[in-house]
A = this chain, B = another copy of it.
Amino acid sequence: MKVGFIGFGELASTLANGLLTAGLEVYTCREGRSSRTKDLVNSTDVELCKSNYELVKTVEVVLSAVSPSQTVSVAREVGHVEGIYVDLNNVSPSTVQEALNHVGTSNTVDAAIMGSVRKKGLKVKIIASGGAADQFAQLNQYGMNIEVIGSKPGQASAIKMLRSAYTKGVSALLTESLYVAYKMGLDEEVLKYITQTEGPYFKESAVSRIKSSAYHAKRRSEEMEEVVAMIREETEPVMNQATLEFFGALAQKLEKPSQRPTSMAHVFRMLEESNNQG
């Protein structure tokens, strides 16, 4: 079986190397890609096509793994595809639907990565929906870990997006509540008593979420824009709108630090300084 990757960043190169090892023929195209991507291509035994158009004519399964903003444009560029076209990109259900409309109908798959590619490699959990999801899942016999969750494109992306919005909301709640506790000199105590309700792993996870909230505030507020747009089609977003606003305000208050904050108190000191200046 021949598999082709559009885009060759960390996700694509990890999956490509795994599938090469499993004995598949793997293709990509390095024209027009960044120098980092070209280095990743050159470090593997992947075979090269001259263009993405040639790529989709050569392989049976095309996997699109580009940056979110390129999701639709690469699909438009390749146009109608005979084989199976899998969109692995981290985008909203409506964006993935727009992309897939360019390449086909029953031969498309909306796929969402549900774990860390860096940690899990080819075995990372991927959920998939769409007309060709079952066919895509046949790559499990070469070591992938694809779970078909439905027949409609958009379902896999919606699940990933709602899960990620929930996690961001919890992070925002924690950051706000524990900052208030910190101002009262009670942050360690409040954390301790929430941990007694939420379970033994809560404390470590809470501290990690607060540190990464500060570090990734801007990106999270951008991601929440898409979530809120999706939710608004179904109901009035209240909590998710607040998550968007919280991260927007946090990004304005904290210039992105050059390094991750070292502790929860470190985040709160930065926030306190910014509030005192504002």
Q: How many residues of A contact B (CB 8 A)?
A: 52
Contacting pair A174 B166 (CB below 8 A): yes
A158 proximity list for chain B (CB < 8 A): 181, 184, 186
Contacting pair B155 A231 (CB below 8 A): no
Decide if A22 is an interface residue (CB 8 Å cutoff).
Answer: no
Contacting pair A162 B149 (CB below 8 A): no
Count identical subunits in the complex.
Answer: 2
Q: A174–B243 Cα gap in the complex (Å)?
A: 13
Decide if A11 is an interface residue (CB 8 Å cutoff).
Answer: no
Q: A240–B127 Cα gap in the complex (Å)?
A: 33
Contacting pair A177 B166 (CB below 8 A): yes
> Which residues of chain A from 193 to 221 have a CB within 8 Å of any chain B CB?
193-194, 196-197, 199, 201
Decide if A124 is an interface residue (CB 8 Å cutoff).
Answer: no
Contacting pair A193 B239 (CB below 8 A): no
> Which residues of chain A from 112 to 166 have a CB within 8 Å of any chain B CB?
114, 125, 127, 149-150, 155, 158-160, 162-163, 165-166
> Which residues of chain A from 153 to 191 have a CB within 8 Å of any chain B CB?
155, 158-160, 162-163, 165-167, 169-170, 172-174, 176-181, 183-184, 186, 189-190
Decide if A258 is an interface residue (CB 8 Å cutoff).
Answer: no
Q: A229–B247 Cα gap in the complex (Å)?
A: 22
Contacting pair B239 A155 (CB below 8 A): no
Decide if A238 is an interface residue (CB 8 Å cutoff).
Answer: yes
- Shortest CB-to-CB span from A24 to chain B, Å, is 28
Contacting pair A166 B173 (CB below 8 A): yes
- Shortest CB-to-CB span from A199 to chain B, Å, is 6
Decide if A237 is an interface residue (CB 8 Å cutoff).
Answer: yes
A189 proximity list for chain B (CB < 8 A): 149-150, 155, 159
